[in-house]
Amino acid sequence: MMMKIGSQFILEIKYSDKFEKFKCKLVERKGQFIYIDYPINIETKKTAFFIDGTQLKCSFVAQDGSVYLFESEVVGRVRQNIPMIILSYPGDDQLIKIQRRQYVRVETAVDVAVHPLNKEFAPFVTVTSDISAGGAAIIAPNSLKLQPGNQLHVWLVLPMHSGEYHYLKFNAKVIRIIPSDDLRNKVSLQFAEVNAHERQILLRFCFDRQVVMRKKGLLEQE
């Protein structure tokens, strides 16, 4: 089974003119139905109430760090130890795996510390140019002479709009070098061995930044 009890789901209403996402947890699974706790709007932090028949797009991060998507519908409610919403579940064979290249890439500057895996250069601190759940582009001095395939350790500080901070450490591989100016290059990195919890934090951070940029008018509404 791809999902486990306690897995966090990200929900979107399939037919909506609002850019809203909701988070919830899987409480129970019975055959073609899954039971979730009441979803929370990621932006407003308010509990959401979906009427029966609401069609949803649901995504979650599996234990291997892969992201899966499926379509669902609200079929009812039940109260046991906690109030739960019952969703239809199409089955594991209907899950759609989201490829890394499909991760939303957000242009944003966050602090990152970079250490070489094999002491090819002195560690340095810089900022990202953009970031996604699969990797990031960082600004690096062109004197480093980095090459595609170089292995790095990176430490990221991800500040959420709520004031919460997340500190993540990844092994990363240099994918390509993009000249930026006479002194700096943009270095594209791919994160390695990202677990489900870390992937969820990265996805949440990218969505969080999208919401902030939309409010500032820097992104068009979908």
**Stretch(es) of the chain classified as CATH 2.40.10.220:** 106-215
What pLDDT score does 102 carry? 65
Q: pTM higher than 0.85, yes or no?
A: no
Mean of pLDDT values over 39-63:
90
**Stretch(es) of the chain classified as CATH 2.30.110.10:** 8-98
8 A C-beta contact, residue 219 and residue 210: yes
Which CATH number is 106-215 given? 2.40.10.220
In sign, the C-alpha dihedral spanning 104, 107, 111, 114 is positive
Mean of pLDDT values over 102-109:
84
Fold assignment, 8-98: Pnp Oxidase; Chain A (2.30.110)
Mean of pLDDT values over 107-133:
91
Dihedral over alpha carbons 160, 59, 176, 172 (to 10 degrees): 70
